[in-house]
């Protein structure tokens, strides 16, 4: 494997790791209603775990309410179960046709708890990036050992992988800072 392939593959994996952290962050509620809170929930729909966004329309009529309108009204009970089993901490209400979620303002304690949760999510993302870096460096060393690349090219390659890692860790840190600000701003 040459350096360009290793670099490109590593960059793609790191982008996916950062995107994954971003998706996890959208599921953390900040006191403002938005579809991302529940889009990723899996609902037991006739024995199959199905994404909520694939079985219902999700709307936000005002900043404190999320409305879920399932295409099959018989799924309301399972949707409610999925919401109650999630980390949202919101009690769903239904009228037989739609499920409403009233997003309460965050207490100071809950806000601090959520900051710890997003900090842990960010750290898991950083660990993923470091794992990807280690795998790339192992590929570089193997390529050098197999005489596919020269020693100085391997050294430069490892430096490039480190720069890539630093860049994506900075991206995770920026997303974390934004989420923390979001948690502070909404009451």
pLDDT digits (tens, 9 = 90+) for 9-59: 999 999 999 999 988 887 776 767 778 778 778 899 888 999 888 999 999
Report pLDDT for 23.
84
Q: Point out the least confidently predicted range of 41-55, 60-74, 80-94, 123-137.
A: 80-94
Report pLDDT for 96.
86
Are 169 and 126 in contact, with CB atoms under 8 Å apart? yes
Report pLDDT for 107.
79
| Residue boundaries of the structural domains of the chain | 3-26+107-185, 35-102
- Inform me whether the pLDDT recorded for 187 exceeds 80: no
Average of per-residue pLDDT across 97-118: 85
Specify the CATH number of the domain 35-102.
3.30.1360.40
Buried b (16+ CB within 10 A) or exposed e, 144-180: beeeebeeeebeebbebbeebbeebbebbeebbeebb
Residue whose structure tokens are 């304690």:
109
Who wins on pLDDT, 66 or 110? 66
Report pLDDT for 29.
65
Q: What is the residue-averaged pLDDT of the chain?
A: 88
Report pLDDT for 142.
92
- Inform me whether the pLDDT recorded for 125 exceeds 60: yes
Number of H helices, E strands in the chain: 4, 6
Question: Is the domain 3-26+107-185 a CATH 1.50.10.150 member?
Answer: no
Q: Smallest Cα–Cα separation from 53: which of 72, 75, 68?
A: 68
Report pLDDT for 168.
96
């Amino acid at each position: 494997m040459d350096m360009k392939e290793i670099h490109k593959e590593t960059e793609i994996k790191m982008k996916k790791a950062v995107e994954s952290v971003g998706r996890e962050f959208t599921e953390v509620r900040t006191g403002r209603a938005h579809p991302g809170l529940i889009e990723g929930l899996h609902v037991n729909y006739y024995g199959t775990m199905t994404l909520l966004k694939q079985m219902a329309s999700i709307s936000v009529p005002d900043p404190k309410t999320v409305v879920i309108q399932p295409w099959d009204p018989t799924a309301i009970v399972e949707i409610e179960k999925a919401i109650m089993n999630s980390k949202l901490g919101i009690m769903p209400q239904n009228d037989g046709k739609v499920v409403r979620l009233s997003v309460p303002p965050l207490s100071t304690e809950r806000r601090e708890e959520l900051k710890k949760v997003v900090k842990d999510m960010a750290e898991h993302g950083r660990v993923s990036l470091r794992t990807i870096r280690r795998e790339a460096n192992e590929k570089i060393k193997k390529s050098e050992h197999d005489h596919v690349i020269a020693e100085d090219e391997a050294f430069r390659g490892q430096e490039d992988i480190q720069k890539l890692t630093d860049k994506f860790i900075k991206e995770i840190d920026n997303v974390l800072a934004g989420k923390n600000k979001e948690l502070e701003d909404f009451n």
